[in-house]
Structures are given as structure tokens and as C-alpha cells.
Amino acid sequence: MKKWLTIVSAAMVVILAGLAAYALHPEKGIPAIPYEAIIKHLPFAAGGDLRYHITVHKPYKEWDKWPGKGEMYPGKEPHGALLTTYVNKTALDSIKKAKGMAEDSIIVKENYDSGKKLNAVTVMYKVKNYNPEGGDWFWAKYDPQFNILGEGKVEGCIKCHGSVKDNDYIFTGKVTGK
């Protein structure tokens, strides 16, 4: 009797483990819908969604840096004495083509003081039809803990970057034929 109990319970353990493995397996259980399939234009033009995208979904630290710019290159006011600028694949392609920045381009810039202390992270995200008068850029500023300090059609950002409107509001390098 005892032997049977052992066999039955062992069999149940095997079956349950199998069922669990089946259910939890990403390709067999409920199909995992890719984030890209749900939201065509990634992410939404909102500080929180953009933060999720650049820190969790596609961590910007794994992106390429702005071509020709290394880590902590010297910057100007107001951003910081030292800057490190990352670009997503779309932005990188656009910079290389130099015909303006394509939609879904994201540029993430870390702003450090002269003592290499991170002060803020500023982001430009090109969103189709978001703000045609402002080059369709969504602007965001985060503190080092990624709290949102500013987001959207931020007047200060647009005003200053507007001085390089012909270069698609970009200072760091030539990105248009103009």
C-alpha cells in the first residue's frame, strides 16, 4: 500500500511539474505578445512611458553613443560640463544619412558636472505629428533617479533648440543637408 502511495505521488509530482513547465513556457502557454505589436510607435509621448522604454524595455546604456562622441565629452550651458549622448538605432541611421531625424528617433543625454556627478538626463524623442511647429520633438528631463523634471512641449527646450531649427533642432552634429 505504502509503495503504491509513493508511486502515485511521484507520478503526480511529475505530471504537475510538466503542466507547470508547459503553462509557463513562453512559446507554449499564453503567447507573449511583443510590445512592438501592441504599440506601433514606441513609446507613447509621455515621460513615464519614455522612461520605461529607455530604462527597462530598451536600456539606453546598451545603445550606440552619438557617432564620434565618446563618454563625458565637454558640453556647454545649460546642460553640463560633461556629456554622454546615446542614440537609438533609428536616430543613428538618421544621423548617418543626414536627411533629418526619422520618427521614433530617441536621443538620451546624460549631463554631468565638472566633477563627473550626474545631474540630469535629457531626452529628445521624435513622434509623428506630435508637434509640427516644434519639429515633432517630445522633450523630457529626468533627475539622476529618473524622476520626471519636465516633459512634453517644454518651452525652454524648444526656444533654445529652435535656434538650430534648420538642423532639426539638433546641436550636436549635422543631421540635415541644410
Q: Can residue 161 be called a binding residue for ligand HEC (CB under 6 A)?
A: yes
* Alpha-carbon radius of gyration of the chain: 23
| 80-109 positions binding ligand HEC, by CB under 6 A | 83, 85, 107, 109
Q: Can residue 135 be called a binding residue for ligand HEC (CB under 6 A)?
A: no
The single residue among 150, 153, 165, 176 that binds ligand HEC, judged by CB under 6 A, is 150
| 27-56 positions binding ligand HEC, by CB under 6 A | none
Q: Is 32 left (phi over 0), alpha (psi -120 to 50) or beta?
A: beta
Q: Which of 81, 122, 101 has the alpha carbon at shortest distance from 164?
A: 101
Q: Is the peptide bond before 67 cis (omega within 30 degrees of 0)?
A: no
Measured CA to CA, the distance from residue 44 to residue 48 in angstroms comes to 9
Residue 171: count of CB within 10 angstroms of its CB: 13
Phi, psi for 70 (deg, rounded to 5): -95, -155
Q: Can residue 144 be called a binding residue for ligand HEC (CB under 6 A)?
A: no
- Give the total of residues touching ligand HEC (CB under 6 A): 23
| Residue closer to ligand HEC (CB basis): 27 or 133 | 133
The single residue among 95, 123, 134, 142 that binds ligand HEC, judged by CB under 6 A, is 123
Q: Can residue 177 be called a binding residue for ligand HEC (CB under 6 A)?
A: no
User: Which of the stretches 11-19, 29-37, 96-104, 135-143 binds ligand HEC when contact is defined by CB under 6 A?
Assistant: 135-143
Place of cell 507613447: 44
- CB-based contact 122:79 (threshold 8 Å): yes
State the residues that interact with ligand HEC by CB under 6 A. Answer: 75-76, 78-79, 83, 85, 107, 109, 122-124, 139-141, 150, 154, 156-157, 160-161, 170-172
